[in-house]
Amino acid sequence: RLSEPVTDFHYFSGLAFDFIDELLLEIDRVTKESPLRQMQTPGGYQMSVAMTNCGEVGWVSDKSGYRYSALDPLTGLAWPQMPPVFRQLASLAATKAGYPLFSPDACLINQYLPGAKMSLHQDKDENDFSAPIVSVSLGLSAVFKIGDMKRSDKLFSIPLHHGDVVVWGKSLRLAYHSISPIKSDNHPLLGQQRINLTFRKASF
């Protein structure tokens, strides 16, 4: 289905630079309210990536499956609101990519310490596949790999560095993708970690 190589993504190198200080402050606030935690997979494993969310709904995983939830299962409370600077950056990127109406209702915050990875998967827990996904990379670099609709499709590697913002077009919504294990290193602002913000429209 995809023409190769993968083309329906819009890569804005360093677009987050002007927002970094404010983003880091807000990540601190969100993670104080709803802490980063390593969720369980339905298969009973603990994910290597630590996660939390902000927005109207958040992505959660436990023994009963993957889903979006309006409440943080750890606190029993609503997820923290999406900080205005998050929205501002996501809509700047989406607009540049040709999606001026993108209005995310969920932001997943992924924290990768050295060695953490995200195995090949599809994102299919959302109700709205017509919206793109916007991702913001902070801290240590990562190798993102993306294929097509089948797990066995050829993968293309895309490096993601601090400050990069990528808009993944809707034709990639169901493409398999992964993050290779993060190499141990030190980032001058974030130390030994990579943080990824993934903005999605999860509800109709």
Interface contacts to ligand MD3, rule CB under 6 A? 108, 110, 118, 123, 133, 135, 144, 146, 168, 172-173, 175, 177, 179, 196, 198
Q: What is the spatial distance between Cα 51 and Cα 195, in angstroms, rounded to a whole number? A: 10
The single-letter code of the amino acid at 137 is S
CB neighbourhood size of 121 (10 A) = 11
Q: Which residue is nearest to Fe ion (CB)?
A: 123
Using rule CB under 5 A, residue 126 touches Fe ion: no
Query: Nearest distance from residue 78's CB to ligand MD3, in Å?
Result: 21
Listed residue (52, 71, 31, 48) closest to 198, CA to CA: 52
Query: Nearest distance from residue 29's CB to ligand MD3, in Å?
Result: 20
Answer whether the bond into residue 132 is a cis peptide, omega within 30°: no
Nearer to Fe ion, 127 or 186 (CB): 127
Nearer to ligand MD3, 43 or 76 (CB): 43
- Cα 179 vs. chain centroid, distance in angstroms? 11
Nearer to Fe ion, 86 or 168 (CB): 168
Query: Nearest distance from residue 200's CB to ligand MD3, in Å?
Result: 8
Query: Nearest distance from residue 178's CB to ligand MD3, in Å?
Result: 8
The site partner of 34 among ligand MD3, Fe ion, none (C-beta below 5 to 8 Å per kind) is none
Nearer to Fe ion, 26 or 123 (CB): 123
DSSP 18: G
φ/ψ of residue 72, rounded to 5: -80, 115
- Cα 168 vs. chain centroid, distance in angstroms? 11
Using rule CB under 5 A, residue 123 touches Fe ion: yes
> Which of the residues 13 through 52 are near Fe ion (CB under 5 A)?
none
What ranges make up the beta strands (E) of the chain? Answer: 9-12, 50-55, 58-62, 65-69, 106-112, 118-121, 133-139, 142-146, 156-160, 165-168, 177-179, 194-200
Nearer to ligand MD3, 29 or 66 (CB): 66
Query: Nearest distance from residue 21's CB to Fe ion, in Å?
Result: 27
Name the residues that contact Fe ion, by CB under 5 A.
Answer: 123
